[in-house]
């Protein structure tokens, strides 16, 4: 495998891995907090579930970008696209970094924000959606922005037709 293709595949892997790692950490933070609350107030299960799963979306964004790279490289047709130059491979790698890095950090902080909302919902369940979910969803905006930048660069900013 030439260097350009290796860099592009590394970018796809970074998008999926970084955002997925952030999601799993964020889910772990929120899940531990919810488990503690539910041990004393199991009737709040439905209320807390949304706040626990919110950090998982960043992993989905990274997965979609990795798939989009694989589609761009024509990896699902049985063969690979034309060889990539190193510059094209670097462009794809760079395009994957916004979703990977923003997904990593925003998912972790969304898990922390969700954990705070879960603790608040334990004492004031009427505030769970108003503040707990809303505050956590605000952190999501930065993951969405990273996803959109990666998606736009991959779809419109990288031309593979001039590969050497």
Whole-number Cα distances in Å, 119 to 32, 135, 137, 158: 11, 13, 16, 45
Q: What CA–CA distance (Å, rounded) separates 150 from 107? A: 17
pLDDT tens string 65-94: 999 999 999 888 766 667 889 999 999 999
List the structure tokens of 161.
């037709």
pLDDT at residue 81, as a whole number: 64
* Pairwise pLDDT comparison (20 vs 78), residue with the higher score: 20
Q: What is the mean pLDDT of the chain?
A: 91
Evaluate if residue 40 carries a pLDDT over 80: yes
Query: Which run of H or E residues covers position 84?
Result: none
Q: What CA–CA distance (Å, rounded) separates 136 from 20? A: 18
Q: What CA–CA distance (Å, rounded) separates 144 from 99? A: 8
3-156 under CATH 1.20.120.610, yes or no: yes
Evaluate if residue 120 carries a pLDDT over 70: yes
Evaluate if residue 109 carries a pLDDT over 50: yes
What are the sequence ranges of the domains in the chain?
3-156
CB 54 within 8 A of CB 110: yes
């Amino acid at each position: 495998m030439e260097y350009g293709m290796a860099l592009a595949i590394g970018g796809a892997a970074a998008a999926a891995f970084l955002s997925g790692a952030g999601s799993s950490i964020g889910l772990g933070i929120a899940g531990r907090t919810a488990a503690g609350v539910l041990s004393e107030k199991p009737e709040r299960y439905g209320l807390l579930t949304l706040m626990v799963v919110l950090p998982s979306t960043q992993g989905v964004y990274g997965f979609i970008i990795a798939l989009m790279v694989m589609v761009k490289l024509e990896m699902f047709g049985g063969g690979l696209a034309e060889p990539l130059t190193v510059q094209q491979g670097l462009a794809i790698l760079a395009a994957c970094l916004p979703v990977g890095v923003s997904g990593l950090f925003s998912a972790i902080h969304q898990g922390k924000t969700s954990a705070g909302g879960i603790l608040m919902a334990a004492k004031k369940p009427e505030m769970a959606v108003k503040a707990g979910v809303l505050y956590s969803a605000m952190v999501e905006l930065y993951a969405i922005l990273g996803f959109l930048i990666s998606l736009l660069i991959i779809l419109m900013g990288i031309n593979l037709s001039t590969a050497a």
